[in-house]
Structure 1
Amino acid sequence: MSSPSKASGIVMALFAAIFWGLSGTCAQYLFEQKAIEPGWLVSWRLLLAGSILVVFAITRKDSDAFRIWKHPMDALSLLLFSILGMVAVQYTYFYSIHLSNAATATVLQYIGPLFVVAFYAIKHRRWPVLIEYASLLLALGGTFLLVTHGSLDKMVITEAALFWGILSAFTLAFYTIQPVQLLRKYSAATVTGWGMFIGGIIFSIFTKPWQVQGVWDAGTWLAFGYIILFGSVIAFYIFLRSVIIIGAPTASLLCCVEPLAAAAVAVLWLKVPFGGMDWLGTLFVLITIVLLTLGTKKEAA
């Protein structure tokens, strides 16, 4: 059997990003039009997607799905990832959508890689290089345009929406950094599957997902099913496949399509007002990710 082509890896990374972007818009639809609460939706997303990924990990040829629980320190690290990584990044993102919209929340979350760079700069005791300073200025400028539309007199989103959006970026950084050691020992399906499933069980104590809420019709089921299947399981799987084929830096760079997809669909489907300043702010944040990714590739080389 011939190995997958680079083009197929690029296509998979792009579709993963689009699927993730559309899941944010589906979440906004459920919050605004179907009276679904963010915490309730996060619980079911983690439980259902996590259980599917755990089953997938168990059925792999060289399964390591249960080996991770035989090492106490790895199990403890996984528990930490479940709560402060998986639950935190999902809830802060969805709650940010609830307070603003899918487009703004997704762009704000994409500031997260800047915090990752800052963490490693502190860890390795080195000053940021020029490209990282440029990324910082662009990220700040993009956030400023999204939040104020260029005016110092007013904010176009609430302070709460800004707070949860930035918090979402912080949790994304933690989610990226914390499980690195686990991912060097176990498959991504095992770490992510258990992280979702355990996180969903713990979070359910507070959200009581067994108490059905909202308006359930065909639109609700379609949006909910999309978030679980396409926005979680399939997106995760094809993104991992793309990383194997084209490498993590390139795959991560292509994921810049996610905020564009979220913004475009939110504008076209949910009629979210997204003006010139919003698009310019989005562009600044995307350039930030491009610069950071290219800098990472150059350093690796």
Structure 2
Amino acid sequence: MNSLLWGIGSGITAACYVVLPRPLVKDEGHAPIVVLGWGMFLSGIVFNLYHPFFLNTPPITGGLVASMSTVILVGTILPFSLVLYSTHFAPSDVISIVDATQPVMTFILSIIFLSLKITVAEVIGSVLVVVAIYLLQRGRRKIETPFDEVS
């Protein structure tokens, strides 16, 4: 039950980080990096209410600084900036569909390159993600096609 709630919460927040900033970036004309910065700043403050950053800190080493910098820059700032910047070129539903393929690709690449051992539940979950992506894309095509053009 716990993983189901985390999965639903993850889906909701993934949709929100594409849909909510779009008016700020596209209509208001704010730079995507500014919107991203404010979002991360506010979420950092909220998270620090739950677990303050100064408790249980590991010793600071060069490897830790390099690892954290890589995760922050390559794994967080760059991808989120690119997603926000893409709202200039594509509608948010298309961006959400493309973004939904990321867990499936991570799953497939983990099997191929990391020799991940998978369970039936993981296969079913991956199939559900692919089916959801297909249904979202199919629904999008129906919306784009006017009723009078359908034969």
Normalising to structure 2: TM-score of the pair?
0.65
State the match for 1:208 in structure 2: 52
Percent of pairs with identical residues? 25
Please point out which of 280, 283, 286 is paired with 2:127.
283
Q: Matched residues in 2 for 1:220 and 1:261: separation?
A: 28
Q: SS in structure 1 opposite 2:53? A: coil
Q: Matched residues in 2 for 1:222 and 1:186: separation?
A: 34
State the match for 1:273 in structure 2: 117
State the match for 2:11 in structure 1: 169
State the match for 2:149 in structure 1: none
Deviations 1:252-298 (A, max 9, x none): 433343112332455444x6532355234312312312321342254
Q: Matched residues in 2 for 1:263 and 1:219: separation?
A: 27
State the match for 1:238 in structure 2: 82
Structure 2 runs not aligned, ≥5 long: 146-151
State the match for 1:48 in structure 2: none
Q: Which protein, 1 or 2, shows the higher relative CO under an 8 Å CA cutoff with sep ≥ 6?
A: 1
Q: What is the number of equivalent residue pairs in this alignment?
A: 141
Task: Give matches, 1:1-301, under 5 Å.
Answer: 159-183=1-25, 184-187=27-30, 188-211=32-55, 213-214=57-58, 220-221=64-65, 223-245=67-89, 247-248=90-91, 249-267=93-111, 268-269=113-114, 272-300=116-144
Q: Matched residues in 2 for 1:192 and 1:282: separation?
A: 29
Normalising to structure 1: TM-score of the pair?
0.38
What's the C-alpha RMSD, in Å, of the aligned pairs?
3.4
Deviations 1:163-212 (A, max 9, x none): 22222223334445544544432433332221111221343243221345
State the match for 1:111 in structure 2: none
The amino acid of 1:185's aligned partner reads E
The amino acid of 1:209's aligned partner reads F
How far did 1:220 drift?
A: 5.0
Q: 1:199 to 1:290 in 2, by over 3 A?
A: same
Structure 1 runs not aligned, ≥5 long: 1-158
